[in-house]
Amino acid sequence: MKIKKMLRALFCGLMIMSICGCSAGISVENMLTAPKLDSEQSAIYQALINSVGSGVKLKYPKSGDYRSAFVLKNIDGEEGDEALVFYESQTVQSGESALRLKILDKDGGSWSAVYDIACVGSEVDSISFARLGDTENVDIIICYSLLNQSEKLFSVLNYSDGIPVELFSSTYACLEVIDLNADGSDELVCVVNDKANKVSTAMMFTNSEEGFVKLSETQLGGEASDYVRTVKGQLSESTTALFLDYSRGAGQYGTDVVYCYGNRLVTPEGGAGLISRFTNDYMADIPCSDIDNDGFIEIPSTTPLPGYETLTRPEQLCAVRWYTVNDDNFTMEHYSYFSSKYSFALLFPNRWQGVVSAVVNFADNEIVFISYSVDTGLEVNEKTELMRIRAVDKNDAEGLDAAKGMRVLGESGETVYCCSESADYLTGNLALTESELENCFIIL
């Protein structure tokens, strides 16, 4: 028994030391081991060691389709793949980058190092491959971040005859490979953000016989502090666009939209003033999305629901106006209630806009829709209530039982959405028909 107690105490002591990071040499970082290498990777790793010595640390891309430190890809058009290995050298000269990229090739069945590149950042965000423009060359696109800095950099390389050539490099806020001008070939679209002046510029590049060429650039309308996501999609049947959701800070968000006329980048007029939204306890940031499932992306902007206009921002419950772009101007396509918490949206018919509002009943996980007037305000009673939508967790037996008298609108993997309508509502001019409710209610 004493031995068991001693072993238990020793185990607990080791656990405490590992959690606290004590000086005994045990730490979370030391306990982590790199993924086990397969035979091909082991051969590449040995060739790397033979080339640069044993003082290396493999570096892994943090995002993208290629997450291994060993990336196999045919980058020269000749038979067989090359290996691209990111590593950190402990023996670089003062002033040189510790982050390196080694290119290796097979010679007679054995891997050998052919070229070493000093990288421009401290961490590898991603590596990807594209065929930009009408050339047959594979373009290597590497994205980097700088340690403890928000600035990001990218580099475009081309590899032939055993020599990598950097075609272009720049800082960036957003970077996408997309056929934006509908010419059948991909372009590289880069957004550079001047945070000090809150000015962003979109640039479009291609690779051609004349070299790596900038086709167009345009200043974006928003005042972005940081870009939070990029959505690729159709603006119309014939127009592909990039929808760039950005933060302005302090819980405020907006969207820049970029598309092409021929090789000329275009952005709509008036976006910064019109496309604006904020977050509070009622609403998280809303991404651009195809809200009505028509195949085209819509752009969200928030506005207070009737009765909430004079309240402070944390108290405001908002409607979401969904915009599209026509003739280079934003035009509203839908007006909706949007619940981030309960993951559904309700598109308002025209006769509801300006005269219907909503009240949140968190106790029952309900949104109550009411007819609004200056006299009744946001009061919920038998004369103002139109309908209520309740979100019920499928594992909540008590909640499901309480909702038995309600009509089921739909369900997701975890939630059942139920609805009840007031008697006056069913016969009033604000009543939704069965088909209207079916088309207007959207599970996110």
Q: Where are the domains of the chain?
A: 351-444
- More confident of the two residues 90 and 406: 406
**Residue 16 binned pLDDT confidence (cut-offs 50, 70, 90):** very low
Is the pLDDT confidence value at 32 over 50? Answer: no
DSSP assignment string, 325-371: EETTEEEEEEEEEEETTTTEEEEPPGGGTTTEEEEEEGGGTEEEEEE
- More confident of the two residues 4 and 123: 123
Residue 63: partners with Cβ closer than 8 Å, 6 or more residues away: 125, 126
pLDDT tens readout for residues 33-45? 456 778 999 999 9
Q: What is the pLDDT of residue 195?
A: 85
Q: What is the mean pLDDT of residues 210-232?
A: 94
Percent above pLDDT 70 for the chain:
90
Q: What is the mean pLDDT of residues 311-333?
A: 96
Residue 218: partners with Cβ closer than 8 Å, 6 or more residues away: 201, 202, 258, 264, 265, 266, 267
> Which residue, among 77, 36, 59, has the nearest Cα to 127 in the 3D structure?
59
Q: What is the mean pLDDT of residues 275-288?
A: 95
Strand segments (E) across 235-328: 240-249, 252-261, 264-266, 277-278, 299-304, 318-326
